[in-house]
Amino acid sequence: MKGLLGTVLGLLIVFRLNQPVQSASLKGITSGIADGVLCEACTVIVDTIQKLAQFHFSESLIEKAAIEACEKFKLADDRICKLIIPEFKDEVLYVFDHTALSTREICGTILDDKCGTTYDPFNQEWTVPVPGGKPPLIPYQPPKVNITNRILHISDIHWDPQYTPGLQARCDEPLCCRPPLPKGTPDNSAGAWGDAHCDIPLQTVVNLMEHLNATQDQFDWIYLTG
């Protein structure tokens, strides 16, 4: 049972949640999984996880089994297995405990359409009954004002406190440009102000804020989101 738990949690966590950081496509990830995991095994694994979640088995047991399986099947480096599975354990167990998808839909989603039925929420027919019928559509009329606001929108500032210039910027781990990665080559090295493959260093964030402070009279509003 531990092997089954570890396999599915390892696949979900390491491949589905970890890989997007490196901008890998979901199709490429899932096709790789499909080549190594049988649909029958996926069905047994998902059924087992759902039953264990339903009967509230120990999360520590599931976490330990997932780490052991992640290491055994080489789904990631041992250090990554020990760090990333506890990080996403609660989300994965919550999904299994609350999902309305069938086993075939879950396996089809994890393993692409090579196994089961892929569930695509953006390709579904939705019907929402409205009590009393649909009200008449009244076009929105914006107020007529002669006001112009200058807005600066800053989104998704991802600061990495461990960012280290000179280390590998492209690597096989979830996060690059940080220890314990080795020093990079001239064409694969974290820059002083950041790298497109990594989150940014503190000095870049500080420089941005200093620049905004010096030019704040150019904006009426600054939106910081993401």
3-state SS assignment for residue 167: strand
Pull the structure tokens for residue 8.
């599915």
pLDDT in tens, 41-89: 667 667 766 776 777 778 887 788 778 777 876 767 888 889 888 888 8
Instruction: Specify which residues 188 forms β-bridges with.
Output: 185
Q: What separation in angstroms does the CA of 18 have from each of 5, 80, 85, 133, 142?
A: 18, 10, 10, 45, 44
Give residue 163's pLDDT: 97
CA atoms of 107 and 41, how far apart (whole Å): 10
CB distance 192 to 186 below 8 Å: no
Pull the structure tokens for residue 172.
């096989």
pLDDT in tens, 103-112: 888 877 777 6
CA angle 222, 224, 225 (to 5 degrees): 145
**Domain ranges (residues) in the chain:** 2-121, 148-226
Pull the structure tokens for residue 100.
């309305």
CA atoms of 193 and 204, how far apart (whole Å): 6
78-98 and 39-54 helices, crossing angle to 10°: 70
Residue 199 CB-half CA count within 13 A: 14
**What φ, ψ does residue 53 adopt, rounded to 5°?**
-65, -40
Nearest to 102 by CA among 142, 55, 43: 43
The list of the chain residues with pLDDT below 70 reads 1-38, 41-42, 44-45, 48-49, 52, 73, 75, 112-114, 116-119, 122
Residue 98 neighbours by CB under 8 Å, 6+ apart:
none
